[in-house]
């Protein structure tokens, strides 16, 4: 965990990665495309600690997919946040229907990263821009707390301050991040770490007017028109692997 808040990350990286890290540190959104042959989707990505009501508005209006917040592996373990597939699996004895709902046929992946849905206890309905921004920003404080996981304090604080179900979807990142899985959950979490920020990102898929995922070309055009950095997953993976091998 010693390198999580390193401000030196990015000095030897290509210009696009370096610019992306700087934008994240400023609290701005970047765009991340996963890969050909995978989801083939572009997500808006922002560091969770910088999420504000206007951020949520941009994600829901300009992206249009599902707004989710990532959970880094150390926080998942420290707090005890489960994968939703495990929650359902353990409840099949009471609700047999869930056994038939296993996500074992995802065409681009082997396991769903979906976890709990949460609302902060100070929210009302939980769905408004202000409510979701509060939930996300307060969750990022819990993630930062888990960097020194001691005596169950983070877990107790999480339960005290949040309720479930809610309107913010948590996504559990895999151990090793992009070394094991190359989804937006891992890509976005990795780049917040490289930026030296609290290691959780809030992401949302970009949808097109035709009802399908926004094409890579249109996402790149959106980035150009709005002055945003556009990254491909392989760029993040390359840097993450280099950081891992050097660390």
Residues with a known catalytic role: 43, 68, 108, 119, 167, 205
Q: Cα(90)–Cα(44) distance, rounded to whole angstroms?
A: 33
Phi, psi of 206 (to 5 degrees): -90, 125
Q: Which residues contact 93 (CB under 8 A, 6 or more apart)?
A: none
Tokens encoding 195: 């930026």
Dihedral sign for Cα atoms in the order 194, 26, 122, 57:
negative
Report the Cα–Cα distance between both ends of the chain, in Å, rounded: 11
Tokens encoding 219: 């996402």
Name the 3-class secondary structure at 229: coil
Tokens encoding 125: 């309905």
Q: Is 30 exposed, middle or buried (0-12, 13-18, 19+ CB in 10 A)?
A: buried
């Amino acid at each position: 965990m010693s390198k999580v808040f390193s401000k030196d990350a990015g000095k030897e990286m290509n210009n696009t990665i370096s610019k992306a890290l700087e934008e994240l540190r400023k609290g701005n959104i970047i765009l991340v495309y996963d890969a050909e042959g995978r989801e083939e989707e572009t997500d808006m990505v922002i560091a969770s600690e910088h999420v504000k009501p206007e951020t949520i508005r941009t994600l829901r209006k300009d992206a249009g997919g599902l707004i989710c917040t990532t959970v880094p592996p150390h926080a998942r373990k420290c707090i005890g946040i489960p994968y939703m597939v495990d929650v359902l699996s353990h409840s099949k004895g009471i609700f047999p229907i869930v056994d038939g709902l296993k996500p074992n046929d995802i065409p681009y992946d082997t396991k769903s990263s979906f976890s709990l849905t949460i609302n902060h206890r100070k929210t009302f309905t939980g769905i408004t821009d202000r409510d979701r921004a509060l939930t996300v920003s307060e969750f990022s404080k819990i993630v930062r707390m888990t960097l020194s996981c001691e005596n169950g304090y983070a877990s107790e604080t999480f339960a005290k301050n949040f309720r479930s179900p809610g309107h913010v979807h948590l996504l559990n990142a895999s151990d090793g991040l992009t070394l094991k899985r190359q989804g937006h959950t891992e890509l976005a979490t990795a780049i917040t770490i490289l930026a030296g920020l609290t290691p959780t990102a809030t992401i949302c898929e970009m949808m097109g007017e035709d009802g399908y995922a926004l094409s890579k070309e249109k996402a790149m055009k959106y980035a150009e028109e709005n002055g945003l950095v556009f990254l491909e997953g392989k760029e993040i993976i390359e840097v993450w692997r280099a950081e891992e091998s050097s660390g």
